[in-house]
Amino acid sequence: MAQPLHYLNYLEGLQSDLSPLLVAPNALSLQLNCNTSYRLGSIYKRLGYSRVQGTIEAGNAITGLFHFRQNSSTVETLATVNDATDDDTQLFYRTTGAWIEIGAAETAWAGVANAAVEIESFIEYAFFVGWDVTDGFLPVASLTATTTFSTATNVGSMPQAKFIKRYRDRLYIGNCRTGGTNFPFRVYFSSTPSAGAITWTPATDFIAVDHSEEITGLGENWDRLIVFTEYSAYMYNQAENKKVWDVGCSNHRTIKNAGAHMFWANRDGVWDSTGGRPNNIAGRVIDFIRFGNPNNFFAEIVDEEYYLYVGTVTVNGITYTNTVLVYNIPSQTWRTHTYADGFNIFAKVFSAGHDLLYMGATDGDVHVHSKYYDATPIYSDGQVGATVGSPIASWFQTGALTMGDPSLPKKIDKIFAYSERAHLLKLKARVIDRNAQVKTEFHKLGELSKYINEFPCNPDKGNWLQIEGTEHSTNPYWSLFGFTVLVTPEERIKP
């Protein structure tokens, strides 16, 4: 008599670093555009994203993106992008409607293009720094009252810099240039505010680290300023500056906080610290890091999930384009997304009581990622208004389900799949037995169309079973609760 084996728990998410034989029964060996963290244990197709108003500058990448909460009554999203001739940097703002250019910025930033623009909020001003490998440092500037842009207010004598971070009651800028000289090992700091203003004294107000490796990023947590180089990290508390770890950061834009947790990335993985020695949490997706270029990674945290953009990589023979690794902090699991658009920067934007993931694209658009509880979820990539965007390709594979002793072949009588939202998810399966020299191809099981779906398995004998699901469309998202496999072990099969 066949015995039922139930696989109804996918809490562990993706385990791409293991052979299929070692992937846990409650994990997936391949997980593309599938979410196992929304409703724990289930597999959901991810949602899409839509454009935020019109294209800012067609064909040019968004180089800076920041949600500026000046005060309770003045809140705006800021974006920077090259002008049409790729000669100058433009600044745009948006409150609730269209993107509007702040023309004074393009005048101030003439001759500097492709700069990675970093923005920080302090004393009801937004402060700007940035750098490009060809055009050098961006002129420093400040912004307040929506459009009051200045290269003098609160930035007089302020050095140019690659990175900026607020810590306690001062602004800090790292990897700098002042007086016509580069100071890649220095962090300069402002005065404390006086009468709503700050000043800069670069001759005396700075700290220095390493003197060998350039500063690659600044972070702030645990009441400390953290200064990163490629191979090291330093902590500063406005009295003492000391090296704390031989773990560096490859890109400032990967440094993000979630409460007491700080996350960042380098060539060795993704790191998580609560103030002590950091832990590398990238094991399950480590090949995406190894085959990517960490110098170009960037990230954001929204809804306790760390979204890390790694670009185009090939892992286990599969090429992933415009790839984002998503780490769910509560469940400590990973998944992979690929998108129709390439992106250059992410930002967290607070709106109507929720944090939203804004994504600055390489084609001049800013997009917002949809959520399952949106009034009108988006089921395609790059939707513009009511015009549907690109279809989303969802794909998963279980590990090798041994169904008992992996050395013994079994007869697979039937497979049941349980789905609350079928939406035409297609399932396949493959088996391998002692006579096969290589893994067999996946063969069709069928298409989900109801809550309980019953399929025969062909071929129906083998030592292990692997199940695959695929769906490529702009249809509403599907969900899958799991499987039951009816199996008869070999010793029960009559010759």
Residue holding tokens 């306690």?
A: 168
* Cβ neighbours, 10 Å, residue 29: 23
Continuous segment of H or E residues that includes residue 105? helix 103-108
Task: Count how many Cα atoms sit within 13 Å of the Cα of residue 134 in the half-sphere of its side chain.
Answer: 8
Q: Could you report the per-residue pLDDT of 44-98, keeping only the tens digit for each? A: 999 999 999 999 999 999 999 999 999 988 999 999 999 999 999 999 999 999 9
pLDDT digits (tens, 9 = 90+) for 445-479: 999 999 999 999 988 888 899 999 999 999 999 99
Same domain, 59 and 185: yes
**3 state SS of 107:** helix
The answer to whether the predicted template modeling score (pTM) of the entire model surpasses 0.85 is yes
Read off the pLDDT band of 434 (50, 70, 90): low
CATH number for the domain spanning 422: value is 2.60.120
Reply yes or no on whether the pLDDT at 438 is more than 70.
Answer: no
For residue range 202-234, what is the model confidence (pLDDT) as tens digits?
999 999 999 999 999 999 999 999 999 999 999
- Rounded to whole angstroms, the Cα distance separating 336 from 326 reads 6
Domain residue limits at 418: 3-46+394-492
Tell whether 384 and 461 lie within a shared domain: no
pLDDT for residue 437: 45
Per DSSP, which regions of 70-150 are E strands?
75-82, 89-94, 100-101, 116-122, 125-132, 136-137, 141-144, 148-150
Decide if pLDDT at 378 tops 70: yes
Confidence of residue 112 (pLDDT cuts 50, 70, 90): very high
Which of 228, 227, 245 is CA-nearest to residue 236?
227
Co-location of 28 and 61 in the same domain: no
pLDDT attached to residue 491: 60
Check whether 495 has a pLDDT greater than 70: no
Can you give the pLDDT at residue 1? 73
Check whether residue 146 and residue 173 sit in a common domain.
yes
Q: Which of 368, 390, 412 is the endpoint of a domain?
A: 390
Domains in the chain, number: 2
**Band of pLDDT at residue 404, cut at 50, 70 and 90:** confident
Residue 389 exposure: Cα atoms within 13 Å on the Cβ side: 22
User: For residue range 240-275, what is the model confidence (pLDDT) as tens digits?
Assistant: 999 999 999 999 999 999 999 999 999 999 999 999
What CATH number is associated with residue 134?
A: 2.130.10.10
> Do 443 and 455 touch, CB atoms closer than 8 A?
no
Instruction: Report yes or no: 206 and 188 within 8 Å, Cβ to Cβ.
Output: yes
Domain endpoint, select from 334, 358, 390: 390
Q: Is 42's pLDDT higher than 70? A: yes
**Of the candidate ranges 16-20, 150-154, 329-333, the one whose mean pLDDT is the lowest:** 16-20
Q: Is the dihedral of CA 136, 139, 140, 144 positive or negative?
A: negative
